[in-house]
A and B are shown apart, each in its own frame.
Chain A
């Protein structure tokens, strides 16, 4: 049973370009979460999605960032017109049940975004 998969593992973009990060949840998991980690910091929640629905995007910047989890295919975190401050590690997690406080979230290996 494969774990959470993220690609690419490393992504380099120039300022103003778009970054697209992909996440395939664990088999049987229909809940996906995105987190951002800055150097020397813990992970910060960005957005929680179920298939075709955004459930909670309270941690996601209102501009330039968007996320989707289509019926078929991976979840995508999209950052438009990247700036240097977007450089960070972006982690995806998945869980089987969703909003229960005891539901374990399993993390992927992350995508490290560097904006030049």
Chain B
């Protein structure tokens, strides 16, 4: 089945640092999505990408849909404590969404 490979699995950073994470797939996706999940909650959509090569920003977040349609990255600039959580990349495949395993972001005190 289709798989999304996310890296890194975990990140430990200082507040104020920039963050970069990416996602690759063996299959082509028509839509790439980035979600954030806080502990005990459901995923919340951060950014949706619809076209190959598209670069989209949402505040301090920037994401790009790779030209090959098999990869995407998410950058977070100037991280703050509330950025802590799990970030999932996901792709639309027909009527379902396929999720990666997530990147766990920790901010060191």
A-side interface residues toward B, CB under 8 Å?
A: 4, 33, 35, 40-45, 48, 55-56, 58-59, 91, 93, 98-99, 101-102, 104-110, 112
Is the Cβ of A105 less than 8 Å from the Cβ of B97? yes
Is the Cβ of B88 less than 8 Å from the Cβ of A43? yes
A48's contact among B48, B88, B95, by CB below 8 Å, is which?
B95
Tally inter-chain residue pairs, CB-CB below 8 A: 64
Q: How large is the interface on B (under 10, 10 to 19, 20 to 34, 35 or more residues)?
A: 20 to 34
A102's contact among B31, B35, B90, B94, by CB below 8 Å, is which?
B31
B-side interface residues toward A, CB under 8 Å?
A: 4, 30-31, 35, 40-45, 48, 50, 88, 90, 92, 94-102
A17 to chain B, nearest CB (A): 24
Given contacts A99-B94, A101-B92, A102-B31, are A44 and B42 in contact (CB under 8 A)? Answer: no
